[in-house]
Amino acid sequence: MKRIVYSVFGLLILLCACSGEREYPNYRGMSMGMPYKALYDTLLMQGYQIDTAHCSIDSAANAGLLTLIREGQPNFGLSVQFHADTIDAIQESYIASYNDSTRHLWQSIRDSLEKTLDAWPNAPLLKEDHKLAEFKYNGGKISVLLENTYTPTMSVLYETTAPE
């Protein structure tokens, strides 16, 4: 009896894995395949607030760019680009007071993504104060960008890609 139950369970897992559904990248444990409104509600529950000065939402087209901030974290911003209740991209932006802090943050996020995704990034730009690491996989692309020009900034862009 146990063998039958295990074989049925294994067959169900195999069928679910081979269902051909589109894969989506994860943003901090949340699938970017979830509806935009669900992500929005989740972020509000986590303490984010809308930055109305930097939002552009077209209600007629059900598309736009939503910018969120967190109280007590003035150097961190989160932008969500969407259309038709589908998430296209999420970007985290960090601003620091000195270059070494953004260099260290860039390296730690890059190393964490390398370990999590088990992938080596494409790095078309690797200078001391300007770095870019791109991780591509089935569901999308994650770019980690360091720009220490006038104001030390670092951003992480999570993008979904259309199925081929």
Q: What is the DSSP string of 27-46?
A: ETTEETTS-HHHHHHHHHHT
> What pLDDT is attached to residue 61?
64
Residue 27 lies in a domain: yes
Range of the domain at 107: 23-160
CB 98, CB 79: distance < 8 Å = no
Q: Profile the chain (164 residues) by mean pLDDT over runs of 10 residues.
A: 39 43 75 87 88 73 79 85 88 84 88 88 83 86 88 89 58
Phi, psi of 99 (to 5 degrees): -65, -35
> What pLDDT is attached to residue 124?
82
> What pLDDT is attached to residue 83?
86
> What pLDDT is attached to residue 12?
39
How far is CA 160 from its chain centroid?
9
> What pLDDT is attached to residue 21?
60
24 CB neighbour count, 10 Å cutoff? 19
Tell me the pTM. Answer: 0.76
Residue 13 lies in a domain: no
In terms of Cα–Cα distance, which of 1, 99, 83, 75 is closest to 37?
Answer: 83
Tokens found for residue 46? 């986590």
Tally of domains within the chain: 1
